[in-house]
Structure 1
Amino acid sequence: MTMTPEQAAWFSDIFNRLVANVEHVLLGKTFVIKLSFTALLSEGHLLLEDFPGTGKTSLARAMAQSVDGSSNRVQFTPDLLPGDITGVSIYDQRTSQFDFHRGPIFANIVLADEINRASPKTQAALLEVMEEGRVTVDGVTHPVGSPFMVIATQNPVEQAGTYRLPEAQLDRFLMKTSIGYPDHASTLRILEGAGVKAHDSPVPAIVSAETIVEMGALARTVHVDPSINDYVSRLIDATRSASEVRLGASVRGALALVRASKTLAAAAARHYVIPDDIKALAEPVLAHRLVLDPEAEFDGVTASSIMAQILMETPPPSDRQAV
């Protein structure tokens, strides 16, 4: 079943209300907030590579409050263990049984702060839950519930004592972006409210967590024309054949781009995807999945610049079939 225009209008209204709600906390960052909710409604995860103090925690907390859900923050450190994230089984002498004590991963929105400071073993503890929405401890599977989203951060400047995220884990993130510093006008508005801590000004709930699950299911019914799929396939092929790229985007990346584009189309009150949806999301969805040639990196080439060049050289479809 394909989404109807009426359903698209309903979806867009709630989406824009959610974005406006979070923007009361994260001033002047409308596009980043839209990307974040697009990831949430696409059942994906978000990687933020940004400097300290740009509002990453505030974003996660405000998103959880907007959908009337729970949020947890995990500060990743070199001594953090997998059980500190997923939870552990503890023996209860009174019942002679092992009781599972849930870790902080059991929340609707989890902020994994400075994820690259933990050891690869601890980072790997997130792979199953990010992909399948469940945790397996001592052979017993525990679902984390829905909606579920991991917002991970890493500092692009301070790299001492960090562990680079492996390609397999980067591929689990639907998008990668950055918040960045606010502009002058937004900074002035922030300074005017300097006497109020972020914790003291929670944002109201806009919808329930159940509605978010319903919206996610509805977004999957957005129509994608075969010409759009062909366009995505050509973009993926171009990432693999680029001379500066050692490893191009995966099939998971192609699926993620289409899935996120469906959500973005619905957010714009459309029940079908257009090439502009693909163009808007190609860089945040695909760039972090590319592994560049070392010589290209040495010359200052970035994955974002490669994606920009690919978008310029790959013609989009000029027409589409009737929906």
Structure 2
Amino acid sequence: MSDQNAFEVESGNRYADSTFYDAITTSFERLDICIDNATSNKKSLASALDSVINLVKEVELKEKAAKEAKAEAATQDVREVLHQKAGLANKIKKLQCRVFGVLNEGDKCLGHFDEMRKELDSRLTSAMREKELADQEKLEKEILAQEALAFEESQMLRLTEESKRLKEEAVKISTLQDILQEHEFNVNILHGDVSDKYQDIKLLRECLDQPVLQLSGLLLSSQTSSILPSSSSLTTSLVPDHETPEETVDEPVPFVDEFSFRENELLNLAFEKQEGNMNGSSEVKIAPVVTDIIEVGHSMSTESFVASAQTFVECEAAPIIVTRRGKTKKKGHKKSVKKRSKNDLKIIEEKKG
């Protein structure tokens, strides 16, 4: 096995050597061909290199010319650009100035608008307040006018009522004036009669110191003289010529008749006391008689004034009646006078007793 293997290896080596030599020869041939090709290629490369170098030079020249042209063009463009930039910068500055001016004007306008708005708001509020105040004042004036109208109406009603009352009071006052005139006339008559009676009493007191005969004569003379003037004055003053007796019934004549009647009673009383006490001493008995006469005179004067006041009150309370000639007449006047005369007679009788 080993020999066979060695033979196979040897045969193989031999075959390999023959193939190797064949390959070398072929490679040399190929190498020569390549060298020839390389030399031919070298020549072509040299010619191509020369042409390339020439092209490079031309390209460099052209590139240089192009660069110079570009540089010149670039410088011109830069100048134009710079000039344009400067113009644009100026325009921008101007625009900025204008914009700032517009903004300032806008701010000023906004400030003015704010001021105007505030002023308008204040005016609006003041106008609303004035309107409210005017409405309130109008309402108050209307209320005051209504109150004044109501007050005026009440005043007019009050004035009409007051005028009616004043007219009624004027009528009453006119009637009272007539009554007061009548009573004043009666009081004057009574005052004159009282003064006359007081003088008669003084004379009587003086005469009581004289003898009894002279006293009786003086009493009779004073009695007749006092009765006659009083009756004559009453008839002349109370009964005028143009009035009828029917109309003079309303005059207060019984006052004077009553007073004259009292005077007569007083004188008779004094005379009776003087005659009854003739036997005693004159000085002791004359003094009480005089005091009694003075007291009776005072009581008569006071009673007459009280009676006149009572008649005045009764006349005011009594209803008014108009007589034929327009004179006023009071009901109950005669009755009051008759009652008064009866009361006076009772008082005189009591004093006599």
Structure 1 length-normalised TM: 0.22
Q: Which has the higher strand share?
A: 1
Q: Which protein shows a greater Rg? A: 2
Structure of higher RCO (CA pairs closer than 8 Å, 6+ residues apart) = 1
Q: Which has the higher helix share?
A: 2
